[in-house]
Amino acid sequence: MIHRLYVNNFRCLENFDLPLKGMSSALLMGGNGSGKSTVLHVLEILQRIARGENRTGRLLQPEDFSYGRFDAPMRFEIEVFLQERLYLYTLALELPEKFKELRILEEALSVDGQAVYTRKEAEVSLFRRSPNSEDTARFLVDWHLAALPLIQASPDTESVRIFRTWLAHTVLLVPIPSLMTGESGGETLEPERDGSNFAEWFTGLLSRYPSSYTSVERSLRQVMPDIKDLLNRPVSDNVKSLAVRFREQNEDRARNAELTVRFKNLSDGEKCFFICAVILAANESYGPLFCFWDEPDSHLSLSEVGHFILSLRRAFGNSGQLLTTSHHPEAIRRFSDENTLLLFRRSHLEPTSVRRLDEISFDGDLVEALIRGDIPAYGD
C-alpha cells in the first residue's frame, strides 16, 4: 500500500505530497488541468524504471521541470508498506548546464529507515548486512541510468527484488477498448496503460496462476450472467485469440443455444468488465497490487457505474490499493469524504495542491456543489 507520494519540480507538481496512508481505495478528483494525469505520469515513470526502462532520456524531458526551473533538482519519493515493512524509494534528477539529458543526482532505497542502497551521481553504495557483519559494495552506474533495475538479485538484495517486483506489477490504466483485440503473442504480468496487451496479461495470469480462471469467471458472471466460458485458442504458430461463449439462459433445457463472440467484437463496456475481472484475479493471485484507473466509469452504462466502483473498492478493501479519477457523478458518489482527494490549481502559473474532501466545507449534495463550483479550491 502506498503511504505517500512526494513530487517536486515536475510539471505542475511542486512540493506535492499525496497522502494515501490508510486508504485501500481513494478517488482523485479535480478540475481539468488540476494535475490528476500528472500524478499518473509520475507513477508511470516509477513503474517503467522498475520494468527496466531506466534511461532518463526515455523517461523525462527538460521541459518536465516545473516552469523551466533547472536550478533545483526534480525529485520523486514513494513510500510503500509491503510485507509489514516500510519501503522508501527516492530519485532526484538535475539538468546541469550544457546537458541535453537529465542525469541522476540522488537515488536511494531504504527499508524501515535502513538504507539498502544509496547513490550520489554515478556512485552507488550497496549495503550488505548479515547478522555478523556489514559491508558496503561500491560501483559506478552511468548517470543517465536509474540503478534500481540494475541491482542483481541476491540474498542481500531481497528487499530490492520485492520492491522492484511490486512496482513493476502496478496496474496503471487509461484503457482504450478499441486497442484491446484479444490477440496475444506471448504472456506478461505487466499490463500497458491503454490495455493493448490485455490478452497477453490475461494469458500470463492464467499460465502462472491457473486457479485465477475461477475468479475471472465469477466476476464476469456477475455482470454477464449468460457467459458460458472463455476460449483462448491458437490462430497461428505464435498467436492466440480470445473469445467468449455465451449460452441462452432458459429453463427449458431442450434449447441449448450458444453464441461465440470474438473478444475484439465485445462492446467497450464489456471489455472494461474483463479488465476489472482480471485486475481482481491478479490482485488475489500475485498481489497486493496498486491500481490506478483513470476514469473507470468510461464506457459504462449509468446503472452500472455504482456497482462497478463498489466492486472494485470492495475487492481492494481486502488487500492492495485502488486509486481512481472521475468526473462522473455516480462514481464520485461511491466514494466518501475521507477517501476523496481534491486536486486544484489557481492558474497554470501555480502548482497543484491537494486536500482531502473532509477538510473542505460545503453545503448540500457534493455533486451539485461541484457543478455549482461551490467547493472552495475546485475549479478556482
Size of the site for other proteins (CB under 8 A): 28
Looking at 197-205, 232-240, 254-262, 334-342, which segment touches other proteins (CB under 8 A)?
334-342
Which residue of 85, 129, 208, 314 would you call a contact of other proteins, by CB under 8 A?
A: 314
CA 334 to chain centre: 20
* Distance separating alpha carbons of residues 280 and 274, to the nearest angstrom: 10
Choose among 294, 276, 226, 339: nearest CA to 35. 294
- Please tell me whether residue 220 binds other proteins under the rule CB under 8 A: no
Shortest distance, position 313 Cβ to other proteins, whole Å: 6
* Nearest CB to other proteins, comparing residues 147 and 366: 366
Shortest distance, position 86 Cβ to other proteins, whole Å: 21
Identity at 268, one-letter amino acid code: D
Shortest distance, position 280 Cβ to other proteins, whole Å: 11
For residues 263 and 278, the answer to whether their CB atoms sit within 8 Å is no
Strand, helix or coil at 113? coil
Shortest distance, position 338 Cβ to other proteins, whole Å: 4
Beta bridge partners of 233: 241
* Nearest CB to other proteins, comparing residues 169 and 313: 313
* Nearest CB to other proteins, comparing residues 20 and 78: 20
Residue 258: CB atoms within 10 A of its CB come to 10
- Please tell me whether residue 96 binds other proteins under the rule CB under 8 A: no
Q: What is the dihedral of CA 356, 357, 362, 367, to 10 degrees?
A: 150
- Please tell me whether residue 337 binds other proteins under the rule CB under 8 A: yes
Strand, helix or coil at 288? coil
* Nearest CB to other proteins, comparing residues 335 and 344: 335
Extract the C-alpha cell encoding 72.
Answer: 533545483
* Distance separating alpha carbons of residues 178 and 157, to the nearest angstrom: 41
Shortest distance, position 329 Cβ to other proteins, whole Å: 7
- Please tell me whether residue 179 binds other proteins under the rule CB under 8 A: no
Lay out the site mask for other proteins across 136-175 (x = CB under 8 A, - = otherwise): ----------------------------------------
For residue 119, what is the enclosing H or E element? strand 114-120
Identity at 10, one-letter amino acid code: F
Site for other proteins in 348-377 (CB under 8 A): 358, 364-367
* Nearest CB to other proteins, comparing residues 58 and 218: 218
* Distance separating alpha carbons of residues 168 and 46, to the nearest angstrom: 8
- Please tell me whether residue 267 binds other proteins under the rule CB under 8 A: no
Which residue of 14, 304, 374, 379 would you call a contact of other proteins, by CB under 8 A?
A: 304
- Please tell me whether residue 89 binds other proteins under the rule CB under 8 A: no
* Distance separating alpha carbons of residues 303 and 297, to the nearest angstrom: 11
* Nearest CB to other proteins, comparing residues 190 and 268: 268
Shortest distance, position 269 Cβ to other proteins, whole Å: 10
Choose among 322, 311, 313: nearest CA to 288. 322
Which residue of 11, 193, 334, 345 would you call a contact of other proteins, by CB under 8 A?
A: 334
For residues 136 and 124, the answer to whether their CB atoms sit within 8 Å is no
Which residue of 310, 319, 371, 373 would you call a contact of other proteins, by CB under 8 A?
A: 310
Strand, helix or coil at 240? strand
Question: Residue 193 half-sphere exposure, CB side, CA atoms within 13 Å?
Answer: 14
* Nearest CB to other proteins, comparing residues 131 and 225: 225
- Please tell me whether residue 216 binds other proteins under the rule CB under 8 A: no
Peptide bond into 376 cis (omega under 30): no
Order of strands across the sheet with 340-344?
A: 171-173, 290-294, 321-325, 25-30, 340-344, 353-356
* Nearest CB to other proteins, comparing residues 35 and 329: 329
* Nearest CB to other proteins, comparing residues 6 and 335: 335
**Which residues lie near other proteins (CB under 8 A)?**
222-225, 301, 303-304, 306-307, 310-311, 313-314, 317-318, 329, 333-339, 358, 364-367
